[in-house]
Amino acid sequence: MDDLPYGIFSPTLQGAYTRKLILKAGVAYGAIFGLSFALFTWGLDSLVLGANGAAQAWIKIWVGLPLVLLVCSLAGWLGALSPNTLVAVAVWAVAGAFLGVISGHVPFEGRNLATWLLEPRLWGEEIYAYNNSAAIRTTLIVIISIVFGFFIGFVESLAVQWAWDRKKLDGRLGLGSWFALCIAIPLAIIPALAINGLMNQPLRISQVAVGEVLNAVLKGEVDESMGSSYRSFKPFLDYITPNYTTQFVTFSSETGTWYSAYVDIAFDNGLVLRCAASGNNVLYCENFNQRLLGWANDLVHAGLYGERLWEDAKVKRLAVDDTVIAWLSAHGDQFSENYVVIRDSQEGGWVFVTVKFDTGFAMSCRLRQAAPAVIDQCIEAN
């Protein structure tokens, strides 16, 4: 058997060639763990979201995977630099902290960045808000990841040793070496399960609930246990289609909890529904196209006549920023009572609506949130 070159089994590294092989094995261990961690953490989450029609279902893994691979590959390399196992343990504890922070922020700041690139008109806006609940959950994830990092570091010392023992005769990592390093794969399951339970599953529960009920309705697999969830879609049975996309709008609780939320569904025939969900139950859905049309009518009326009809509603479902009211007043002379309303695009809970008048003038307004929805911008459309 070859001289033992690594960690608790050997006090020295034997030459530059041996050192290079050990470092290569360390980087490979880290990369395998990082890839597995990303797939278990965001890949499965993306599959569930994609199966229920979620827009940008894979965005978290595209954002998180490069960061995780960088952190874990570097940790594997640093852990293999020293023959002291405690170094690898310490390095992976620090790496665990970084992984926890990344896992807690990718669903928010990470998705924000991706959304800005997809829709430059939203650049700099907080599309997915990192609130107090997210901060608490991220702290718990960081603690769990640090603790588990100790174990990942210790296993690296063993895995690199096993990889060395199974190297080819020419000194390169053999098939047995790579199998030994793949012990990192099951190690990624435990932290991924923690992240799923604390972060991913609570974030997707409302969107998945809407998708599952809608899929059941489309397939005719409705039973009495669905109750209000089925009744939410019943008025729209003649209009819904199998091709649709769901958008997470916002959580509906003012306490910062993630149990209730609003979800929009856009069908390929132009119908858009806004649904309220609580846990696994869909409470109700409304025709969001009609709601947008009514709000656009109020904006046009404000520009033409200076009246704020939304303020007279019994239920305050719309708020309009003062800057928008001032803009409407300044441009009202270009409005008319003949116009069409077009829902341009939507990213998360942010919707762009264009109003085109027969005068040739057009305005683009931006709407966000729900209950109440907020119109925070109107500009002249190109």
- The residue-averaged pLDDT of 207-216 equals 94
pLDDT of residue 371: 86
Q: How confident is the model at residue 224 (pLDDT cuts 50, 70, 90)?
A: low
Which of 287, 315, 339 lies at the terminal end of a domain, its last residue? 287
Average pLDDT, the chain: 90
Q: Are residues 23 and 158 in the same domain?
A: yes
Q: Give domain status of residue 235, yes or no.
A: yes
Q: Cβ(69)–Cβ(35) under 8 Å?
A: yes
Task: Name residue 349's amino acid.
Answer: G
Q: Are residues 27 and 109 in the same domain?
A: yes
Q: Are residues 310 and 361 in the same domain?
A: yes
Which of 164, 185, 204 lies at the terminal end of a domain, its last residue? 204
Q: Give domain status of residue 161, yes or no.
A: yes
Q: Are residues 188 and 210 in the same domain?
A: no
Q: How confident is the model at residue 225 (pLDDT cuts 50, 70, 90)?
A: confident
CATH number of the domain at 296, please: 3.10.450
Task: Name residue 90's amino acid.
Answer: A
pLDDT of residue 137: 96
Q: How many domains, the chain?
A: 3
Measured over the CA atoms of residue 79, residue 82, residue 85 and residue 91, the dihedral's sign is negative
Q: Give domain status of residue 2, yes or no.
A: no
Q: What crossing angle do the helices spanning 59-81 and 44-51 adopt, rounded to 10°? A: 170
Q: Please spell the DSSP secondary structure of 293-361, one letter per residue.
A: HHHHHHHHHHHHH---GGGG-SS--EEE-HHHHHHHHHHGGG--S-EEEEEEEEETTEEEEEEEETTS-
Q: Are residues 200 and 216 in the same domain?
A: no
Q: Are residues 90 and 166 in the same domain?
A: yes
pLDDT at 11 exceeding the cut of 50:
no
pLDDT at 4 exceeding the cut of 50:
no
* pLDDT tens-digit readout, 114-159: 999 999 999 999 999 999 999 999 999 999 999 999 999 999 999 9
Helix (H, G, I), strand (E, B) or coil at 253: coil
pTM of the model: 0.89
Q: Are residues 52 and 197 in the same domain?
A: yes
Q: Give domain status of residue 1, yes or no.
A: no
Q: Are residues 120 and 47 in the same domain?
A: yes
**pLDDT: is 282 or 2 the higher one?**
282
Q: Are residues 162 and 268 in the same domain?
A: no
* 286 bridge partner residues: 274
Which of 270, 287, 304 lies at the terminal end of a domain, its last residue? 287
Q: Give domain status of residue 109, yes or no.
A: yes
pLDDT of residue 1: 41
* 65 bridge partner residues: none
Q: Domain containing 336: what range?
A: 289-380
Q: Are residues 138 and 238 in the same domain?
A: no
**What's the token pair of residue 336?**
């008319």
Q: Cβ(11)–Cβ(161) under 8 Å?
A: no
The rounded distance, in Å, linking the Cα atoms of 280 and 173 is: 49
Q: Are residues 193 and 340 in the same domain?
A: no
* pLDDT tens-digit readout, 27-50: 999 999 999 999 999 999 999 999
Helix (H, G, I), strand (E, B) or coil at 254: coil
Q: Give domain status of residue 269, yes or no.
A: yes
Q: CA torsion 183→190→130→282, rounded to 10°?
A: 130
Q: Are residues 277 and 293 in the same domain?
A: no
| Range list of H helices, the chain | 15-38, 44-51, 59-81, 85-105, 111-118, 132-165, 175-181, 184-187, 189-195, 201-219, 228-233, 288-305, 322-331
Other beta carbons within 10 Å of 268 = 10
Other beta carbons within 10 Å of 126 = 12
